[in-house]
Amino acid sequence: MESAMSEQINEQAEKMREMAQTTLDKAKEAVSKYITESQKLREKADSSVRSTYSAAKEMNERAVAFAEENVASGFELAQRLLHAKDPQEMGAVYQSHLKEQMEKMNAQFRELASAMNQPSTVDLNK
C-alpha cells in the first residue's frame, strides 16, 4: 500500500513537472515572439526615423542653397548698380532684379512645398 501510494505521489509529481515544463516552454516561446516582434518594430521605427531625418536634412540643405543663391543675387545687384550710368538705369536694374528675384523665390517656395508634400517612402506595415 505504501508502495502504491508512493507510486501515485511520484506520478502526480511527474505530471506537475510536465505541466510546469509545458508552461515554461510556452512562456519562453511567448517571450521569444515578443522579443522578435519588438526587434521588427524597432527596425521599422529606426528606418522611419532615418527616412524622416534624411528628408529633413535634404530640405534643410535645399533651403540653405536657396539662401546662398539669394545672397549671391543681392551681391550681383549691388555690382550692377555700381555700374549704372544714371538714376534711370539704376531704377531699371533694380526693377529687373526685383522681378527676377520674385520669380526665383516663387520657384524656390514651390520646390520646397512640393518636397514637403512628398509621401514618406517608409511603410510601417511591412
- Number of C-beta neighbours around residue 49 at 10 A: 11
In this prediction, residue 117 carries a pLDDT of: 80
Per-residue pLDDT reduced to its tens digit, 82-96: 999 999 999 999 999
Q: What's 49-83 look like in SS3?
A: HHHHHHHHHHHHHHHHHHHHHHHHHHHHHHHHHHC
Q: Which residue ranges make up each domain of the chain?
A: 2-116
8 Å CB contact between 108 and 66 = yes
Per-residue pLDDT reduced to its tens digit, 18-46: 998 999 999 999 988 988 988 888 888 88
> What are the φ/ψ torsions at residue 55 (nearest 5 degrees)?
-65, -40
Residue 73 has pLDDT above 90, yes or no: yes
